[in-house]
Structure 1
């Protein structure tokens, strides 16, 4: 897939630096401006400061999990566009996130085309 000169920004939230880097590289390669937060508290600070167009949010994180972060993001910005990132076996948590307003989800290991498609669909909703 040829990179496009997008101006949209994506906040990648994952407690694992390796996974955050993998997702960030996929998105950067597609032309997005990428911000990274290694956990919930940092994600909330970055979101308020940068107001990214889309957030990819890990479901399972220590301390503040993805569901808690999603709830707080929706308080900050009810229109925030969030895509949950989850391992197989966490379907109930993903369903809860969708009911709370997450736009979509992708499963780990993350397929680049599925991630980019989910981000594009979230951006195209408005």
Structure 2
């Protein structure tokens, strides 16, 4: 699914960042502050809800 989304969004003058694990996604969000974040329902190390909570703690306007 990540690859499909990456291919669909590529070439539209966007930077696409992919993270296979929740902790990596949190760190990438902290560094990059993307305009859009898409989370997988099942990540191997941290649940998507926990990732979302951490992202919202950093940026309450994140959706």
TM-score calculated relative to the size of structure 2: 0.86
Aligned residues: 62
More strand by share: 1
**Offset of 1:59 from its aligned partner?**
1.4
> 1:14-40: per-residue Cα shift (whole Å, max 9, x none)?
xxxxx21111111114x1321111110
- 3-state SS of 1:58 partner: coil
Listed as ranges, the gaps of 5+ residues in structure 1 are 1-18, 82-126
TM-score calculated relative to the size of structure 1: 0.46
Superposed CA RMSD in Å reads: 1.2
Q: Choose from 9, 16, 19 the match for 1:37.
A: 19
Listed as ranges, the gaps of 5+ residues in structure 2 are none
Counterpart position of 1:62: 44
Q: Which has the higher contact order (CA 8 A, sep 6+)?
A: 2
Greater Cα radius of gyration, structure 1 or 2: 1
Q: Matches of residues 15-94 of structure 1 in structure 2 within 5 Å?
A: 19-29=1-11, 31=12, 32-81=14-63
In the TM superposition, structure 1's runs of 4+ consecutive aligned residues that sit over 3 Å from their partners are none
